[in-house]
Structure 1
Amino acid sequence: MDCDVIVIGAGVVGAALAYGLARKGRSVVVLDGADRDLRAARANFGLIWVQGKGSDAPAYSALTRQSSDLWPGFLNELSNISTSRVDYARPGGLVYCLSEMEYANRHAVNERTHNQGAQADTEMVSRVQLERMLPAVTLGPDVVGASYCRLDGHVNPLQLLAALHRAIAALGGKILFRNPIDRIMPVSGGFRVSVSDGTLQAPRVVVAAGLATPGLTEPLGLAMPLKSERGQILVTERVAPILPFPASGLRQSADGTVMIGATNEKIADTAVTAASATKLAQRATRIIPALGSARLVRQWAGLRVLPLDKTPIYAESSDHPGLFAVACHSGVTLAAAHTDVIAPAIANGRLPDDLAPFSNGRFNVQKCA
């Protein structure tokens, strides 16, 4: 065996798991794909978001809150081990409402989440309250209020990914870049993974390769029902600090740029379009008209990794013990939980019963129903 665990996927999800495994003293090799592979981790908006997550899935809502609370300690240790700067803040977050209907719908989402037993950490704020929270801007006339969650925050996702990679190396792990996976083969005592540079063997394999995950696990009988969704984002030039709170679709980074997003398109490529840029810019300027004078400097698109019910999948193979798979579209929000909760469970060789709601077996139940 070449190591204790092979992690397939060097994005935020795979890297957080590998970092957590290395912290538990496991020897880890992380395998990255080809340069042109789809990479959700590098197209991320950077929100660490609680409100609205799992409004119809109580276990997901609880895990999201747990991860949000773990984030400060997780980042402090990660920064020390990696000796890296990672811009992070947790001032709470907003969802702007541009009509009475949007306001009522958002209130209903909050009520539904609270009725499932979640903490009352999200509240609706009026336009007057919102104006007090945002003294540096003048809101557009369509803004009627917002939803505010005190647990929400944001981070620079590229800094986060770089810090995870550095921390893995600092703890003795290896990341092999440009090593696309051919297949995973069960062997005596574990698995052999065929890559472009040869083969590696380990008693445990974790597949966290985003949209490529099903192609690697399903030949071994481990189903991972995923779909993709394109999201486009705009970024402005640096401007003076005006947005003290991140918002769904609108946040100001630590270096002053304003990120505007994101679309939800049932399209499986990463091209950008003028139509989407127009749509995003129009909504942003309805919220804060002054953004109309800021120059756009970048536009990009990425593909979300979405389980069919949008709830994370944490799966282990019953046919091939030691084979695990992880997929979600909240890799940044759940990074702390992946490091502190999921990785230790994998290190021990079994996912605990309280993660059963995230099993891939739930899709078979839904299909039968």
Structure 2
Amino acid sequence: MSEPDYMIVGGGIVGAAIAYGLARSGERVALLDEGDVAFRAARGNFGNVWVQGKGATCPAYADLTRGAANDWAEFAEDLSTETGIDLHFRRPGAAYICFSPEDLAKRVAVLEQSNANARIKSAFEALDLADLRQRLPDVGPEVAGGTFCPDDGTANPLLLLRALIKAAKDLGARYLPHHGVTSVARDGAGYAAETTAGVVRAGRLVLAAGLGNARLAPMVGLDGPVRPVRGQIMVTEKVRSFLACGTNFIRQTLEGGCIFGESVEEVGLDDGTSLPVLRDTAQKAVAAFPLLRDVRVVRAWGALRIMTPDGVPVYQASPDGSAFVVCVHSGVTLAPFHARGFVDNLISGSLPPDRFSAFSPERFHVQTV
């Protein structure tokens, strides 16, 4: 079998989207996936295609997010047509629920700031409780109001991952599960990865290994500044449809169950759960929507999300354009970009500064005097 043009390390949503895009462009691709034993970020992903508030301190991130979100409908249609898998993509907008007037005022300021310098604008509304109930009639009396953005949507992250891998394989990509990567290195004109199932070689390397980027990137002269942030998630039994749109911490699936959770914990690689956090999460959900008070929780779990020091993605290329590192925590939202526009940059071997300088890890190494 001929050596692939690209080796993608990381079989999550980010790596699978890149593999799919490269294969769609006619490149020979090997996708290395540690498997479900990995700290799969998709386990802690609500599946939000989320725009509002992104990039408040980084206009380039706001534009990247909004552009990707605007491409999601076409992307989902194409991927579903190619694979026969419905991604459950919907774009009804989303509400951000606030429990005090002060929180609402702060939220409005964040959205105004994110729009101020962004090239791609995103509309939003500030709603008091009465206005919010026009959109979400079951919201509780403890809620002060919220914001609504029509540009937000949702998709099923596990179906997205399944579709991306299937599409990549159908286009000729080699999907290599149970290939946990222990090291990467230059190998002549290309790269070699030592894996738990042997050595894999390719001409070019893309590190999309999530938390593994912190360890692997320096091996090839790149930087993967990421840390784990735990979120705890709860899922309820099926209930009547009551959420006409998504929210910042509760989403109702098409099947009727509710997924909720908004915790942010710095606990290293511990992906377990804790009763105090689950209790607080449940109490907040019931305060937002009292109808959930007597609904049974059928499952709860913890998952590790990938976070850079400032929450903004990192994209970096080696000087010769043969190796790349990608560190993002918005894999669902940015999937159309990773499968399309970013692939063009990989093939060209460069990340144009006018678009990518804001995402360079060099921003974390600025010396102050």
TM-score (norm 1): 0.96
Change (3 A) 1:120 1:346: closer
Partner of 1:53: 54
The 1-side partners of 2:122 and 2:183 are apart by: 46
Partner of 1:131: 133
Partner of 2:210: 210
Give runs of aligned pairs for residues 2-17 of structure 1, distance below 5 A.
2-17=3-18
Give runs of aligned pairs for residues 316-327 of structure 1, distance below 5 A.
316-318=317-319, 321-327=321-327
The 2-side partners of 1:256 and 1:297 are apart by: 13
Give runs of aligned pairs for residues 1-369 of structure 1, distance below 5 A.
2-117=3-118, 118-135=120-137, 137=138, 139-268=139-268, 269-318=270-319, 321-353=321-353, 354-365=355-366, 367-368=367-368
Change (3 A) 1:120 1:205: closer
SS at match of 1:361: helix
SS at match of 2:235: strand
Task: Kindly indicate whether the alpha-carbon contact (under 8 Å) linking 1:250 and 1:258 is maintained by their aligned counterparts in 2.
Answer: yes
Structure 2 spans left out of the alignment, 5+ residues: none
Q: Match of 1:304, as an amino acid?
A: R
SS at match of 1:276: helix
Shift of 1:182: 2.1
Shift of 1:88: 1.2
TM-score (norm 2): 0.96
SS at match of 2:247: coil
**Higher mean displacement: 336-345 or 162-171:** 336-345
The 2-side partners of 1:36 and 1:3 are apart by: 25
Shift of 1:36: 2.4
The 1-side partners of 2:345 and 2:52 are apart by: 26
SS at match of 1:21: helix
Change (3 A) 1:120 1:194: closer
SS at match of 1:88: coil
RMSD: 1.4
Q: Deviations over 1:123-146 (max 9, x none)?
A: 2112222111124x2x22111211
Shift of 1:35: 4.1
The 2-side partners of 1:182 and 1:141 are apart by: 53
Q: Match of 2:211, as an amino acid?
A: L
Q: Deviations over 1:300-352 (max 9, x none)?
A: 1111111111100111112x640101011111111111111112211222222
SS at match of 2:245: coil
Structure 1 spans left out of the alignment, 5+ residues: none
Q: Deviations over 1:15-37 (max 9, x none)?
A: 01111111111011100115422
